[in-house]
Each structure stands twice: as C-alpha cells, then as structure tokens.
Amino acid sequence: MKGMPMQDRWPVWKLSLLLYVFAAGAVAINLFMLALMLQRFGFPALSPVTTLAISAPLGIPAAWAAGLWVRHLLDEASGS
C-alpha cells in the first residue's frame, strides 16, 4: 500500500465480525422468502424462529464473503 502501513489495515476477520449481523439477517430474509416460494411445490413453510436458527451458521460464510468484498473495496479506494 502506498500511503497506509500494513498494520493500519483492517483484517478480513474483523470486517467479517462487524458485518456478521447484517449478513446473517440477509440470509434469514432470503431463506424465509425462498421457503415461502417453495410452498408452491409442496414444501412446508419455515417459521421465523426456524429461519433464524438456520441462518445463524449460514451467516458465517456470508459474512466472510462480505468482509472480503469490503477489504477489496477499501484496498481499491486507497489505491493499492
């Protein structure tokens, strides 16, 4: 990096930890809507509590992907 020392950069794991709530929420909303759409084909609907329970572990890879994306955007904005 040109103007920023490496120790001042936010690591991906910290960004992922900050973004976990938003990523898990997005996973929960999408999973709930998917279950509603799949009712047309005979699948049961998921309750909101079940959807939140399923989205908690699925939010981890989504948060990691969001952290990688934000790290890339920050690197691009700093000109590195």
> What number is the average pLDDT over the span 34-56?
95
For the stretch 1-40, pLDDT in tens is 455 566 678 999 999 999 999 999 999 999 999 999 999 9
In Å, what is the CA distance from 6 to each residue of 9, 26, 44, 75, 77?
6, 31, 50, 11, 15
The pLDDT of residue 4: 57
Question: pTM for this structure?
Answer: 0.82
Contact 24, 56 (CB under 8 A): yes
Domain ranges of the chain: 13-78
Mean model confidence pLDDT for the chain: 91
Measured distance CA(18)–CA(47) in Å, rounded: 27
- Amino acid making up residue 21: V
State both tokens at 25.
Answer: 């929420």
Radius of gyration (C-alpha) of the chain in whole angstroms:
17
